[in-house]
Amino acid sequence: MELTTEQKDICKAAREFAEKEFRDRAKDFDAKEEFDLSIVKRAAENGFIGVFIKEDYGGAGLGFLEHSLITEEVWRVDPGCGQNICSAGFGAEMIQTFGTEEQKQFYLPKIASGEAIIGTAITEPDAGSDVTLVKTRAEKKGDTYVINGSKMFITNGCNAKYLLVYAVTDPEAKDVHKRCSVILLDTATPGFTATKIYGKMGIRASNTAEVSFDNVEVPAENLVGKEGRGFYQLMEFFNMTRNHVAAQGVGVAQGALEMAISHVKKRKAFGGSLSRLQGVQFKIAEMATRIEAARSLYWRAAYLLDNGKLDPALVSMAKWFSGETAVYVANEALQLHGGYGYIVEYDIQRFYRDAKIVEIYEGSKEVEKAVIASELLKRVF
């Protein structure tokens, strides 16, 4: 598989944008746990936000492969900053796939243009991987839903203009998979509050929050998809979004590898540069090979998705293996830096901290393995 000329140009443009916008500020953003949101606006102006959004709704009309390619490049330069770019449209997939025509026409152009940031509120303090355990309630009263509850670890929680809220709409349904729905919320609505979470290990430039709903009234027309189908919509949503998380893993790994190569070529020991030592060369070879394998997985998974041939097992393979690769490569790259990798002046320590999240969010590596096995056991060979 080879990228088209247009896709290669997209990669180059995304990398150049990230180098210009992130390189000199990433360390400070990480230390202060903040980000300059004007960069998100400029990213949108350059066409890097929600490229999978159709042209009819203000997007570029490209695919999830292009979205993932952009994600890899911006994470390659800095994961924390890159997360602000690739997550600015996190939820547009749900609206485009399940929303009404009116919802698509109203919300998607705002996301693609950078006018509004969107987030998706799923996880709760006592409901992580098992989304059937959510307790946030959206009770229908006339032509409104009244939402009460709280969500935890929500990306863009404090910055989002809109949030997709995964909530219980039919608590009495015997099938737990038919209890929930997805409702679109304007965060300016009275009763909504977001509290920033400080002290994260990694991607500290990315906003993560605990959000709460206290009798938040939302028009019934803000239901996305069908009532009681939230779980099934969420599973389809993850099949779209997990691929760009795989690209995150490849990006942070590629960035760490490049730092390691640069360091071992300059660092002198035992009568020459570290890069002359076979043990070091073996490490570089192993790191690079794992990265190429992970990249091939997410390329193929995205290609199939864009061509209407979704393979959930392949998506989960890409996400799991890319996360494992990110952690492995960041660890080896830091090791090659020796003591220098352990101090804040060297960026590799930040990449080391950033890599771990890829194994945790949007489906932990254990969940991904369960999905892979479940899909394979359904098949007849």
3-state secondary structure of 228: coil
Chain centroid to Cα 19, Å, comes to: 20
At 12, give phi and psi (nearest 5°).
-65, -45
Which residues pair with residue 358 across a beta bridge?
Answer: none
362: annotated active-site residue: yes
State CA 114 to chain mean position distance: 17
Place of tokens 């392949």: 314
3-state secondary structure of 100: coil
Q: Which residues are paired to 196 by β-bridges?
A: 209
Quick one: which of 147, 92, 146 has its CA closest to 116?
Answer: 92
Rounded Cα distance, 34 and 18, in Å: 17
User: At CA 21, angle to CA 13 and CA 5, rounded to 5?
Assistant: 5
Helix or strand (DSSP H, E) at 211 = strand 208-219
- Nearest C-alpha neighbor of 146 from the set 228, 218, 226: 218
Q: Which residue has the tokens 């009263």?
A: 141
Q: How far apart are CA 123 and CA 363, in angstroms?
A: 11
CA separation for the pair 278, 344 (Å, rounded): 28
Between CA 9 and CA 6 the distance in angstroms is 5
Active-site residue identified among 33, 324, 362, 368: 362
CB 134 within 8 A of CB 127: yes
Confirm if 118 and 88 have CB atoms less than 8 A apart.
Answer: yes
The catalytic residue positions are 362
